[in-house]
Copies of this chain bind each other. A is one copy, B any other.
Amino acid sequence: MAKPPKENSPITEHLAYLLAQANREINRQLELRLSKEGVPVEQWRILKVLSDGEGHSMGELADAVLLNHPTLTKMIDRMVSDTLVYRVQDPGDRRKVLMFISDRGKVLCKKLNSLAVDQEEHILESYGDKSTSELKRLLESLIDSSN
């Protein structure tokens, strides 16, 4: 029983499509929760990365939160206006800017974290503990193998 040639396979069977679909759905759910605090997913990611208290450069941040540089710059501008984060010039390399989370940012981040945990728990419930950790494992390994 030969498989049909891939060229004719429906779009829904492509890995790229399944990833896009799953990402869209999970993201939509998360967005919905975070919107309780009026914060987009990307800002939560930024706050979470910065909440280690260390200073992170823009380039580092852009990689970590999956945004390209100009988009990040403009989002950080907004977050600075909202006094959630602040910029400090890196004394060791003055090309760089180090980003820090403010106290207000920390408070917000905590609230957001618990909203996000809500979601993860909801997924665990409907999707199962085992499937979830297996899926995470496979995704990590896919990401690894792509570099």
On A, residues with C-beta under 8 Å from B are 6-7, 10-11, 13-27, 29-30, 41, 45, 48-49, 64-66, 110, 113-114, 116-117, 119-120, 123, 126-127, 131-132, 134-136, 138-143, 145-146
Contacts and interface: CB of A to CB of B under 8 A. Distances in A.
A29 B99 CA distance: 30
B66 A6 contact: no
A138 B112 CA distance: 27
Given A15-B123, A146-B126, A7 B66 contact: no
B142 A19 contact: no
A26 B110 contact: no
A136 B27 contact: no
A139 B135 contact: yes
A78 to B, nearest CB: 19
Contacts of A26: 15-16, 19, 142, 146
A117 B48 CA distance: 37
Contact of A22 (B21, B114, B131, B139): B139
Given A21-B66, A66-B24, A132 B15 contact: yes
A138 B146 contact: no
Contacts of A120: 6, 14-15
A136 B18 contact: yes
